[in-house]
A and B are shown apart, each in its own frame.
Chain A
Amino acid sequence: MDWKNLLTIAMGAILINNFIFSQFLGICPFMGVSKSTDTASGMGLAVTFVMGLASAVCWPINHFILTSETLFPDGNNLAFMQTIVYILVIASLVQFIEMFLQKSMPSLYTALGVYLPLITTNCAVLGVVLQNTQNSYNFIESVAYGITGGLGFLLAIYLFAAVREKLEYSECPKAFEGFPIALVTAGLLALSFGGFSGLKLFG
């Protein structure tokens, strides 16, 4: 495995093509649970966890079933089913993880709390597995992209939550209080991440 390739994928997922700031995926939890850095980091870790796992589970399903060359030698494979199958997989996976954690790791379960079921319908998770397929990553690359994409999400939501905590104390016009000013702030943050676009690693 080429470590340079993995590093490129990681840097791309965290900074250059950050899931929130440049791909606009996972905006819902990004706005919803970024009121304090504690909950934000909890959500970020949960997303990282699920993204990595979903990548790992979806890759074999895609490779060995949907686009299998032995099952579909004539090329009429089931690639068009990817989206719906991924949704099915992710939803079941999150449910399963939730049950598993509740039983075997109650402390982690309480730490993740309500955020775990929220991820079921998180578009960032669906986005990461779809992009894995689009970019025809192999298994290791897929998992790397999933985990680092989650870390990018964690970075974004943590930064944003830290800003929002300060925002509570700032004075802004009544009409902008709360959500509107948060949206403006998110836009400015996204703008700063725009500085990474076009960054090229290894020539």
Chain B
Amino acid sequence: MKTIIFAVLVLLVMGAAFGAILAFAAKVFAVEKDPREEAIAGCLPGANCGGCGYPGCGGYAAAVVAGTAPVNACAAGGEAVAKQIAEIMGVSAGETVKQIAAVRCTGCGVDHTKYNYVGVQDCLAASRLPGGGPLGCDYGCLGFGTCEKVCPFDAIHVINGVAVVDEEKCKACSKCVDACPRHIIALEPYKTKKHVAIPCSSHAKGPVVTKVCSNGCIGCSLCAKACPKEAITMDNFLAKIDYDKCIGCGICAQKCPRGLITVDGVVPEKKPAPAAKPAAPAAAPAAEEKPAEAPAVEAPKAEETAPAAPTEEAPKAE
């Protein structure tokens, strides 16, 4: 009996003592929390998706108050939330550029397969095979829809053997970007101006590309030379657009001998080459209206010779 009483007593006293110490400590060591933190956490979606790169909405709110996170980092909340947070923090939100995933392949290589693939209908499985899958092009979309399976928004579908992004549904969560074994999906800013895109990922040299695909980038660098803003750079036989510099003029699309570059999703028709010969070289912004002399002549057919020929012709025209 004595033991029971003692046991209860000891536990009671200890519990009370520890409770008192903790209560005391909570007062003494109280840390003032910034009221803005709670206000920000209040207007965040509260989904704790982690899209901002912080551990949950609370972590992001703390980071904003600490000044280490931008006010517009919440992708799920979008511009509305960014504005609210900016108001709380007393700064301007700036522009949040909406992004979408873009598949950098037009899928024109589906007819050029190396062998008949009957295995697991999954890009990852197919890409592990000898030769990197059945597709002739080493960089093209395999079209088994691994991206389609991972998309939580039903925004990407394989249509005619190539993945196509539904621009309305895409939330730029970049799940497909990570899933694609070929790494041909990337985030691009969405229609801030005329949207110019180079939907090809092939780093292969021109002759190789022309064998396996009818419009892939052959690395002729005509677009890079024609761009008035130097927004296009050549990366190992592949033209890439720097969207910070691109003004959406579409000159590159006119110049492209492969008819690859799109403006707002479509390949623009080649303007007939104006017979007049303007003095300004192609690089000047004034050249906007007179593009496409060489490509109009060479046009999509002269595939093999296209890279070299136009560059020789350009100086002559002057």
Contact = CB atoms under 8 A, between A and B. Distances in A.
Interface of A: 61, 65-66, 76, 78, 80-81, 84-85, 88-89, 92, 95-96, 99-100, 102-104, 106, 114, 171
A53 to B, nearest CB: 14
Given A76-B2, A78-B3, A85-B11, A104 B29 contact: yes
B57 to A, nearest CB: 15
Given A81-B7, A92-B18, A92-B21, 15 more contacts: A80-B7, A81-B10, A88-B14, A88-B15, A89-B14, A92-B19, A96-B25, A99-B25, A99-B26, A99-B29, A100-B25, A102-B29, A103-B30, A103-B31, A171-B128
Nearest to B122: A174
Nearest to A104: B29
Contacts of A104: 29
Contacts of B3: 76, 78
A102 B31 contact: yes
From DSSP, what is the main secondary structure of chain A's interface residues?
helix
A96 B25 CA distance: 7
Please report whether the interface of chain B is mostly helix, strand, loop or mixed according to DSSP.
helix
Nearest to B27: A99
Interface in B25-67: 25-26, 28-31, 55
B6 interface: yes
B123 to A, nearest CB: 13
Q: Which of A81, A106, A114, A171 has the most CB of B within 10 A?
A: A81
A85 B18 CA distance: 11
A61 B13 CA distance: 12
A84 B11 contact: yes
Contacts, number: 47
Nearest to A66: B10
Interface residues of B, number: 20
A84 B7 CA distance: 11
B22 interface: yes
B20 to A, nearest CB: 10
Given A78-B3, A92-B18, A65 B10 contact: yes
A92 B7 CA distance: 19
Contacts of A95: 22
A84 B55 CA distance: 34
B7 A96 contact: no
Nearest to A114: B55
B246 to A, nearest CB: 34
Nearest to B19: A92
A66 B14 CA distance: 11
Nearest to B13: A65
B19 to A, nearest CB: 8
Nearest to A71: B6
Contacts of A85: 10-11, 14
Contacts of B25: 96, 99-100
8 contacts: A65-B10, A78-B7, A85-B14, A88-B18, A92-B18, A99-B22, A103-B31, A114-B55
